[in-house]
Structure 1
Amino acid sequence: MRGRSVDKNAPRKPLTAFMMFMKERRSNSESLASLPFGERNRILGAEWSQMSKEQKQVYSSRAAEERAKYNVLLAEYKSSESYKTWLASNEGYVKNPKRKKGVQPEAERDSRESNFRVSIFTTEFLQYNRLREVVLRQLKKQAIQLEEETALLSKHVENLVHAETRTKTQLQSCSEQLANDEQIQKRLYRELVAALAEVSLPCSGGTSDSISLGTEHITETSVQSFFTQLEQLKQDQKHPELIIKAQELLETAISKKILKLVSL
């Protein structure tokens, strides 16, 4: 039996939203168009999966409009003479002449095996069957397109899962390191407070050459500001006795291992 011919006059099947997106990107990018099929589709699949619902909706709306136009054109075409002619050219059947009631010619009985026909092979049935086959082919093509889209999206999702796992591992490592550094800092502050407990800084209202004892001592929350003031006194060459006393206390704390995290 000869194969069925393609109906060149039939309306062309519309593209899906994803296929519209791929076609548009290929036409707008020479670099994409020059890539191998698999590499190009992998890149476009990744781009599609990263698009927002609003961005995808643009293509979905266009695809829906094209599908609606296609359905209208297909319905009109199926009622045309061109479609009927195409069906007839692919029919390959011979209509049986009506038998007269009670009469069975001898020639018909002799050729009965080779020309056997049953009632289901009517024009209406064959047309319906042809239409079902056309619909089935269209559904198969859609299934293939969806499988390709699913494969691309699945690969991209797999890559995202791996990236997420790596990011979580790095984040956990950074969090642990930060917590460790914070513990070291707290320990250092406690040791500095213990070592410099006898040092009192002059208040801002005191004279440049006098010391107001007891006005400001180092605490765990004021370590940074305390050393900033000490450094400023050193640069201004004021209260050298305070600077010397602080250095001696730090040296003593280190030698007695009261201050373990700092070396002079």
Structure 2
Amino acid sequence: MKENYLRGSMTTGGASSSGADTSPKKKGWPKGRKRRLLPKDSNAPKGPLSGYMLFMGDQREVLRQTQPGLAFHEITKLVAQRWAALDQIAKTKYLEAAEADKERYQKEMEEYQKTDAYKNFLQKQRKAETPSPPKKTRKENGEERKEEEEEEEEEPLNPHSALEIPIFTEEFLTHNKVREGELRQLRKSNTDYEEQNAILQKHIESMKSTVERLESETCQQRSNNAALQQHIETLRRTLARAFINLPLPGSEAAPTEETIDSYMVQLHSLIVNNPQQHQGLIQTVRGIVSQLALT
């Protein structure tokens, strides 16, 4: 009887176990279970941030200090409003910082892809993407659930990646499109300004060459004026010595270097106005002039 009882117990247990194994399973992903996440590369360079995300990072700290009671969605909405009201000069600062951050990320990523750490990460990612065969187990329900939770445990989040998660809201996407349009407009304006600057630079170089040429001509003219002035002084001394013994009619004063100009004007006036009356004077002047020509 004892053997029959033991056999009956074993038969009953086996039937129940067999029934448990052959029970139909539900299709789809079970409720409460989490999908397996692909491994993240913790050694990779930090991704670049857009100008709006940089502005959000600055404003978020300001709002947390000035208005600590705001919720996350309220902070996001307020930051979006401030970004829309921001002037173009302030926006350009953040957009330029975003471009610099993007260049930084590309350079660091190119260097990182040459390292062994990146190759090891690719191998881990390929292994994670390869589906593993289902495990057969006959453990109790509690132990089986525990094993599934251990296998499907999520990787802890990186606290430094909070700002790297983009906020894909309709408002954010709209602002991002507007900012990209403004950035293209700024680049076009910058190109136009560079062309105008090149034209102005050519005008400046032309003006410099013109100024240099005029300065050279001015120096040459000053030199000619100095030579003419010296020639005039020599001519005055020569005339004063030549006509020193010929005073004007009605005047006994002889000409000097200081008075030779007025003397020659008065002498010319006497000869032209009364040539018949001053024939002797005309002959004397002709003689003096002929001697000057000979010398």
More helix, by proportion: 2
Fold in common (TM above 0.5) = no
Please give the range of the TM-score, normalised by the shorter of the 2 chains.
0.3 to 0.5
Larger RCO: 1 or 2 (CA < 8 Å, sep 6+): 2
Q: TM-score, normalised by structure 2?
A: 0.40
Larger Rg: 2
